[in-house]
Structure 1
Amino acid sequence: MGAKAADELTVGDEVEVEIGPVAHGGHCVARYAGRVLFVRHSLPGERVRARITEGGSGDRFLRADAVAVLDASEHRVPSRCPAAGPGGCGGCDFQHVGTGHQRELKARVVTEQLKRLAGIDREVRVEALDDEDGLRYRTRVEFAVDGATVGLRRHRSHTVEAVPGCPIAVPEIDAGLAEVRADVAGDPGALEGISAIDVVVPTGEEDTVVVEVPGDAPTPPIPMTEVVDAPLGRIPMAVDARGFWQVHRDAPRVFVEAVLAAARVEPGERVLDLYSGVGLFSVPLAAAAGEQGQLIAVESDRRATDHLRENLDDRPWALVVPGRVDDLFGVPRKGPKGAKGGRNGRGRTRGRPTRSDLLPPSADVIVLDPPRSGAGRGVVEALVSLRPRRMVYVACDPAALARDTAYLAERGYALTGLRALDAFPMTHHVECIAVFEPARGSVPSP
């Protein structure tokens, strides 16, 4: 039987392909008779046998796994995790790649996104954090639960892989997982109604925290303490066990140092910290602004906001403003797909929100750490209207950063600094801290 035509390929088919460049998302690009394949578990320059995992006739591209390596890259190494690879745990993208080369691949992705979406040519270097060759760094892991099976989900799947442990997690995580499994072995129905198990190793607590996440109800608050070694001293911070916190054990320290160095806040200045969470940046930024200055922190999550107030309690010049950044700045949200005539999915017209009176008319420095989707054009325009002398943008997605970089350039703010940090070794994720300043030293008009 001859080889299938490219437009006939479907799930389960296997083809031999040459692997091209790395792409954003943990895969590399290949072509089969002109058809685009996004191939996981591969490396640029390799020749592999790829098995189609998603897509078929009519789709713009196909997803595939490299199930056999015919010509290997010099950067390929034996996987550090027995559960990684085709059909296994989907948590790691680069277990088969040398750690140093992982950072080179991530740098290529950031470079390519800035060039493609923002028209910026910039050399990027991804910096390592304090981890042991990309292993044993993660202090928080959410394990999925399926009946009596506890593990991690396969890539783009609901299937739970019963992993023996997690090599990128600190040892206490594996110990917590083992205890959960021992309990289940003694009582197979122990996890009935539970959708996930969070295992957390906080730096400010003696014990590992294990949280059972109900499938049909909110998890009750579980306050705990993280400790950050900041330039201004050790900072204890209240946070919920299921709240957002950087998972790399060294990331809070490195990020705070990087943001403070980038922001260059002077005493007496007004600083905005947007999407602030529990205040990882708010607390040291408030200290830098001092009693003659002002810190305004904006956060939408209710539990995070409660902890944010607690963490800023001894700094009366800091103001916490609860709410979504776009809503508070009066930026209209996009309606659901398919909605027409300015109405939302339930038929009600969504009016333009009113700008909050709690937000100032100007700011000296703005720090923002938006979600993976980025800030967006509307928020960027609102921030530019405050005419800050400097903006520091913490980005977990290089494509979103590049899009917002283009919006900022349109409004007269240039990218003047960029650091890329490898806060998630063995995965495709990379954190960037970007600095924007008025182009040619002049503050643009709003």
Structure 2
Amino acid sequence: MSEWTGRRVEAEVGAVAHGGHCVARVEGRVVFVRHALPGERVVVEITEDKGGSFCRGDAVEVLQAAPGRVAPPCEYARPKGCGGCDWQHADAGTQRGLKAAVVAEQLSRLGGVEWDVEVEDLPGGLGDWRTRARLAVDRSGRAGFRAHRSHRVIPIADCVIAAPGTVEEVVDRTWRTGAEVAVSVDSTGRTHIAELTERGRRVRHVVGAPESTELAARREWRVDAHGFWQVHPDAADVLAEVVERWADVPDGGCAWDLYAGAGLFASVLARRAATVVAVEADRPAAEHGAENLADLPQVRVFAGKVEDVLAAEELPAPDVVVLDPPRKGAGGEVVSAIAAREPARVVYVACDPAALARDVATFAGLGYALRDLRAFDAFPMTHHVECVALLAR
């Protein structure tokens, strides 16, 4: 253990960085500081030091506060507390400004693009929005969330960002030691709870059913109650609207929906396209997609990794490609395969600005430029932000 771990130092807090912290410099070293805001002077307790040029710490005392600072509404949003929320100590406008700065910095540094980013809010405010969550279980059988960069479980009584019908239905029960508990509330207001093993396999359904019902894009969706679906109740509708408008599929054209999930974007592409190819690696999600879109004969669903399907199948040439990859991004192989088919437009939905920026740079090398970008605060109080990027040849 380094001599800096546990040490307390005063620091001037600099710019925000990707990951829910800000950058300070102490004695020639970079310190990534949580629970601080740019421009503040704070006392930092070093929490992690593996040697080298940087370490990590928490602001345990604020000597000079920034204008956007507020008292965190949750008692667990503190140093050594829950690691789920990053920006509860900032007001709504400041949170969105921090996220905008991160997206712009990532696009500049990793993507080679200078862009004036604005993060738009979604309806409903900062709390009571998270409709899907997973909680860990401590040795006493109590449910909670893990501390930042730790396996330590923080038992909780409530959660300010959780939607009604989720966390409060879990925390008053005793659970199997070492398990995880998945909870969701769907668009009909029905709660679903499952107890999972450490590897994520379901042991038993406690409340509700394996499938849930969601409403978005003027359709009803059957989805895995604990699989992927947008966790903010307004995000699916907003993203589908932007994707449909920016895709601008020509009447009778062809569109690809890669990383298609249960088929949300494929459904809006099919309003004008004669052919929609939807590709999803998770077989249960792909099966749900095929069921959800069974009334749209122009949609063909492939179950398989995107890179494998693009390499193995004779797919029709796309006029537009929509992709919504996981947090790590699409990567060079998939981006190259898309560019090789020369679609007029690419609509990229991203939950990680660094991955988006890297893929934007790869697209640029293959003849596609960033033409528009919108960012949404689909995860208030956290450092996460959802972006939609339009690229064109």
- 2:74–2:160 Cα contact (<8 Å) kept: yes
Q: CA 1:256–1:150 in structure 2 vs 1: closer, same or farther (change >3 Å)?
A: same
What residue in structure 1 maps to residue 44 of structure 2? 50
The unaligned stretches of length 5 or more in structure 2 are: 204-208
Report the Cα distance in structure 2 between the residues aligned to 1:376 and 1:215, rounded to whole angstroms.
29
Judged with a 3 Å threshold, the aligned counterparts in structure 2 of structure 1 residues 314 and 194 are, in CA distance, closer, same or farther, namely farther
- 1:317 is aligned to 298
1:207 shift after superposition: 2.4
The residue identity in structure 2 corresponding to 1:95 is Q
- Matched letter for residue 225 of structure 1: T
Q: SS of the counterpart of 1:375?
A: coil
Aligned residue number for residue 359 of structure 1: 315
Q: Give the Å deviation of 1:193.
A: 5.6
Partner of residue 9 from structure 2, selected from 8, 15, 18: 15
Candidates 284, 288, 302, aligned match of 2:272: 288
Q: 2:371: which partner in 1? A: 416
- CA–CA separation in structure 2 for the residues paired with 1:207 and 1:115: 43
Identical-pair percentage: 49
User: Is the Cα–Cα contact under 8 Å of residues 136 and 178 in structure 2 kept in the other structure?
Assistant: no
Structure 1 gaps, min length 5: 1-6, 185-190, 330-354, 439-446
What residue is the counterpart of 2:219 in the other structure? 235
Structure 1 60/125 Cα, relative in aligned 2: closer, same or farther at 3 Å? same
- The equivalences for 1:258-407 within 5 A come to 258-289=242-273, 293-329=274-310, 355-360=311-316, 362-407=317-362
Does the Cα contact within 8 Å between 1:300 and 1:324 map onto a contact in 2?
A: yes
Matched ranges for 1:211-226 at <5 A:
211-215=194-198, 218-219=201-202, 222-226=210-214
Equivalent pair of 1:193/1:214 in contact (CA under 8 Å): no
Residues 2, 49 of structure 2: 8 Å contact kept? no
Q: Is the 8 A contact 2:375 2:387 kept in 1?
A: yes
Q: Which letter maps to 1:261?
A: R
Letter in 2 for 1:298: V
Residue aligning to 2:87: 94
- Deviation of 1:199 after TM superposition, in Å, equals 1.5
Q: Distance in 1 between matches of 2:345 and 2:392?
A: 5
Contact 1:374 1:400 in 2 (8 A): yes
- Looking at structure 2, the residues matched to 8 and 414 of structure 1 have their Cα atoms a distance apart, in angstroms, of 45
Partners of 1:227 and 1:245 in 2: CA distance: 11
Contact 1:275 1:370 in 2 (8 A): yes
The residue that corresponds to 1:350 in the other structure is none
Q: Which residue does 2:206 correspond to in 1?
A: none
Question: Is residue 130 from structure 1 mapped to residue 123 from structure 2 by the alignment?
Answer: yes
Aligned to 1:254: 238
Match of 2:78 in 1: 85
1:194-252 C-alpha deviation (Å, 9 max, x unpaired): 61111211003x42111111336722781221111x2xxx2101101111011001111
* AA aligned opposite 1:395: A
> Does the CA contact (< 8 Å) of 1:41 and 1:86 recur in 2?
yes
Q: Per the alignment, do residues 217 and 49 of structure 1 end up closer, same or farther by CA in structure 2, a change over 3 Å counting?
A: closer
Q: 1:8 to 1:203 in 2, by over 3 A?
A: closer
Deviations 1:290-318 (A, max 9, x none): xxx10000001011011011011111111
**In the superposition, relative to structure 1, how do residues 84 and 278 fare at CA in structure 2: closer, same or farther (>3 Å)?**
same
| Contact residue 165 and residue 177 of structure 1 kept, 8 A | no
Paired residue secondary structure (2:270): helix
Q: Pick from 129, 146, 162: which aligns with 2:138?
A: 146
> How many angstroms apart in 1 are the aligned matches of 2:156 and 2:107?
36
Paired letter, 1:266 = P
Tell me how far 1:288 sits from its aligned partner: 2.9
* Contact 2:137–2:176 (CA under 8 A) maintained in structure 1: no
Q: Which amino acid aligns with 1:200?
A: S
Structure 1 residue 210 corresponds to structure 2 residue 204: no
Matches of 1:214 and 1:33, distance apart in 2: 45
Shift of 1:149: 1.4
| Residue of structure 2 in register with 1:117 after alignment | 110
Question: Deviation at 1:359?
Answer: 2.5
TM-score (norm 1): 0.84
Q: 1:38·1:64 contact (CA, 8 Å) conserved in 2?
A: yes
CA contact (8 A) 1:193 1:216 kept: no
In the alignment of these two chains, the number of paired residues is 387
* Contact 1:113-1:399 at 8 Å conserved across structures: yes
The answer to which of 169-178 and 95-104 deviates more is 169-178
After TM superposition, the score normalised by the length of structure 2 is 0.95
CA gap 1:30/1:92 in 2 versus in 1, 3 angstroms:
same
Is the 2:137–2:177 Cα contact (8 Å) retained in structure 1?
A: no
Matched, 1:66 2:59: yes
Is the CA contact 2:210–2:224 (under 8 Å) kept in the aligned structure 1? yes
Which secondary structure does the structure 2 equivalent of 1:197 belong to?
A: strand
Match of 1:164 in 2: 157
Name segments (4+ residues, structure 1) moved above 3 Å: none
Quick one: distance in 2 between partners of 1:143 and 1:195? 9
Q: Displacement, 1:122?
A: 1.1
Q: Give the whole-Å Cα distance in 1 for the aligned partners of 2:176 and 2:352.
A: 36
Larger-Rg structure: 1
1:173 maps onto 2:166 in alignment: yes
